[in-house]
Amino acid sequence: GAVVSQHPSWVICKSGTSVKIECRSLDFQATTMFWYRQFPKQSLMLMATSNEGSKATYEQGVEKDKFLINHASLTLSTLTVTSAHPEDSSFYICSKPWDAANYGYTFGSGTRLTVV
Amino acid sequence: GDSVTQMEGPVTLSEEAFLTINCTYTATGYPSLFWYVQYPGEGLQLLLKATKADDKGSNKGFEATYRKETTSFHLEKGSVQVSDSAVYFCALSRNKLTFGTGTQLKVEL
């Protein structure tokens, strides 16, 4: 299967600062990347879908100005949590489809964000 | 909307014990169903899938059967190993993946 490298794996930041999370496709191009968030003891929730060269598509209830997604190249998608607050503390994970017809998705290893 | 409910963990078993992780879903139509596994420090990996009612997905000794009448997709393994320790996610797909909360499995010697 395909390979997605996500980093950092964990980050602690102060309230009011911004944090950037990167997901790189290491083997072949990724025109689409999915971004998920997981709160403790809750499901992975799809936040947005990034598309290379165009605006991301956000799920209902996700603030576009707070969670900035950039997909400027075919190998890199980034999620920036702006003006982070403690309630943004969560586990963020990216995923790309590599065989959508057969439901093949590759996931990054996730980023644990803690805002203090 | 679509939702997936799976049993809370952690589940702790001795090696060679029988494993069942329950998963039920709510969705309109006929979604595809999946089990993903996440080993420590790694990304989620597809473990098995079933795309229609009565299909049985299987991989690495794990099995799950798509039961439409009970809207369930329970994960089973006859004899677990320490190396099976991981977090297991049940998921369904219609136009996007919807996940359960994940169940942590710990297998001890």
Per-residue confidence (pLDDT) for residue A103, from 0 to 100: 64
Please check the confidence at residue A1 and state whether its pLDDT lies above 60.
Answer: no
With a pLDDT cut of 90, the percent of chain B lying above it is 76
**Across the interface, which of A44, A105, A109 has its CB nearest the CB of B42?**
A109
Q: Which one of B32, B41, B99 has the shortest CB-CB distance to A103?
A: B32
pLDDT over 90 at A101, yes or no: no
Question: Is residue A53 classed exposed, middle or buried when 0-12, 13-18 and 19+ CB atoms within 10 A define those classes?
Answer: exposed
Quick check: A87 pLDDT over 80?
A: yes
Task: Give the pLDDT band (50/70/90) at residue A89.
Answer: very high
C-alpha–C-alpha distance, residues A96 and A105, integer Å: 6
Determine the Cα–Cα distance for residues A82 and A84; give it in Å rounded to an integer.
5
Is A43 in contact with B100 (Cβ distance < 8 A)?
Answer: yes
pLDDT(B71) > 90: yes
pLDDT band with cut points at 50, 70 and 90 for residue B61: very high
A23 and chain B in contact, CB less than 8 A: no
Q: How confident is the model at residue B54 (pLDDT cuts 50, 70, 90)?
A: very high
Check: CB of residue A106 under 8 Å from CB of residue A6: no
Average pLDDT (B8-20) is 95
Q: Give SS3 for B82.
A: helix
pLDDT tens-digit series, residues A21-60? 999 988 777 888 999 998 877 788 999 999 888 899 999 9
What are the residues of chain B with a beta carbon less than 8 Å away from any beta carbon of chain A?
4, 8, 32, 34, 36, 38, 41-46, 49, 51, 89, 93, 96-102
In this structure, are strands B103-108 and B11-14 parallel, antiparallel, or unpaired? parallel
Token output for B15:
């090696």
- Give the pLDDT of residue A99: 66
